[in-house]
Amino acid sequence: MSAAALLKDRQAERAEPLLKVHGLSRLYGPEKGCQDVSFDLYPGEVLGIVGESGSGKSTLLSLLSGRCLPDAGGIDYRRKDGRWVDLYSASEAERRTLLRTEWGFVEQNPRDGLRMAVSAGANIGERLMAQGKRNYQELRAAGIDWLSQVEIDPLRIDDLPRTFSGGMQQRLQIARNLVSGPRLVFMDEPTGGLDVSVQARLLDLLRGLVRELDLAVVIVTHDLAVARLLADRLMVMRRSRVVESGLTDQILDDPQHPYSQLLVSSVLQS
Amino acid sequence: MNTLIEVQDLSKTFTLHQQNGVVLNVLRGLNFSVRGGECLVLHGQSGAGKSTLLRTLYGNYLPAGGSIRVLHEGQWLELVGAEPREVLTVRQQTLGYVSQFLRVIPRVATLDVVMEPALGRGWDREKAKARAEDLLTRLNIPQRLWQLAPGTFSGGEQQRVNIARGFMVDWPVMLLDEPTASLDETNRKVVLELMNEAKAAGAALIGIFHDVAAREAVADRHLDMTPVEMTTKELLQC
């Protein structure tokens, strides 16, 4: 397909939301957790969630990905086949299938998202095997292809992830998620534990992959520079509520809510 | 030529919550429209709100009230209150913005920085590369720098890379925040040529130019942005 035809195809697909979130709440205590969150997410759109620790960012991510259930509210997801699923009335098995086919989840700590006892290649192949691919040559080819896409030497395919550096482990986790061609990926502080030089490389890689694969992403981060680089739009959370949302550069350059202004003005200028 | 952008009763205020809630009224009751092939130059002292106006038109600043309508893919679209994804498609297809400053993305090569607006519109890589190389050559960026990330370039080189990026594709409406500031004579001429080419191609330009020669070379009309005295009622609100 030509680039222009591909673009047209994407535009048609992008006209309808992928995810509709309405009135989502889950409270562990007063203002602990998240409450009354509503938004639509469109294909290819990158939504950043920013805010201080304890503001409810991670709770929201767990709710969105169906890992925990809300006290109130709901989520509708439009599947690849066009059918809408009500996430919380779907069976546990159906949610798990979604999470390892059409969705991905990149954990802050790669050790939580990888299988540390099996090789890099096996980590990448796992989702494909779950989808019924059994041909060893194909799985291995996919492993080699994805290792090079995330800038890891393909010769390391048989090595265990614990022999990798933190940055490599994070890139391996990304490959493991993207191999199944997901449409929606959740990321929890993906650059959190990495040193600055490694962060820049990972961000650049993520930015390229998100565009190339036209991924919708919900990314939780406390780093506003990461948000600026990756997110199309932002939601600012404070004490379990969304206090402001809008276009990323507008929120960062002209924040309206007192808390957003405090957040933006607290960043050191480099 | 047709009107491509129309602004009515536009206002912009900043409320500084961290500084005792001080309210700054920067823009009030602005009305203007710009046609294709025309260049509107913003006139006013430093602090009159010229850059604020450009940023508000681009959606980078949130307007306090009024209307900004652009002709986007054959239809009028209201930008005040538009969804982020609508603003992003307008920025991809209709509204270009060139400032003096390049926001550098780590590790991305100059050529890729310049090509990005075209690739976003679905150009094929070869065509985009040819256009980017042509612009970088015209703006006197040495070929040996094209494959390097512009993070380490001099201020003037970064500015010219940003201009190349800004003129990479045809924009129906272009916002220009002092694109010629601090350029040498040769490069300033190139930028003026690029602006006149854009006008000839039917673009509506809105710009800030402190440099008189540049202003005279492209301006068709001026918008006076001298701050209007506030009414007593407004002063009481502050």
B58-95, pLDDT tens digit by residue? 999 999 999 999 999 999 999 999 999 999 999 999 99
Length of chain B: 238
Percent of chain A with pLDDT over 70: 97
The string of pLDDT tens digits covering residues A176-200 is: 999 999 999 999 999 887 887 788 7
Report whether pLDDT(A211) > 80.
yes
Task: Give CA–CA dist B17/A267, Å, rounded.
Answer: 16
pLDDT of residue A184: 96
Q: What's the burial of A212, exposed, middle or buried (CB within 10 Å: 0-12/13-18/19+)?
A: exposed
Q: Are B7 and B34 in contact (CB under 8 A)?
A: no
Among A31-35, B192-196, B226-230, the range scoring the smallest mean pLDDT is B226-230
Q: Are A49 and A218 in contact (CB under 8 A)?
A: yes
Report whether pLDDT(A20) > 70.
yes
Q: Are strands A103-106 and A84-86 parallel, antiparallel or unpaired?
A: unpaired
ipTM of this model?
Answer: 0.91
| Contact across the interface for A250 and B18, Cβ inside 8 Å | no
What are the DSSP calls for A205-231, one per residue? HHHHHHHHTT-EEEEE-S-HHHHHHH-
Residues of A whose CB is below 8 A from B122: 3-4, 6-8
Residue of A250, A262, A265 lying closest to B62 (CB–CB): A250
pLDDT of residue B174: 98
Structure tokens at A105: 């989840």
The string of pLDDT tens digits covering residues B105-130 is: 777 899 999 999 999 898 999 999 99
| CB proximity under 8 Å: B 188-207 to A | none
Residues of A whose CB is below 8 A from B129: none
Q: pTM to 2 decimals?
A: 0.91
Task: Give CA–CA dist A123/A113, Å, rounded.
Answer: 10
- Between the two ends of chain A, the Cα-to-Cα distance in Å is 43
Q: Does B144 touch chain A (CB under 8 A)?
A: no
According to DSSP, the residues that pair with A19 across neighbouring strands are A41, A77
Q: Does B88 touch chain A (CB under 8 A)?
A: yes
3-state secondary structure A5-46: HHHHHHHHHHCCCCEEEEEEEEEEECCEEEEEEEEEECCCCE
pLDDT of residue A258: 95
Task: Give CA–CA dist A113/B208, Å, rounded.
Answer: 51
pLDDT of residue B229: 58
Residues of A whose CB is below 8 A from B14: 254
The string of pLDDT tens digits covering residues B4-50 is: 999 999 999 999 998 889 999 999 999 999 999 999 999 988 888 99
- What's the one-letter identity of residue B106? P
Average pLDDT of chain A to the nearest whole number: 91
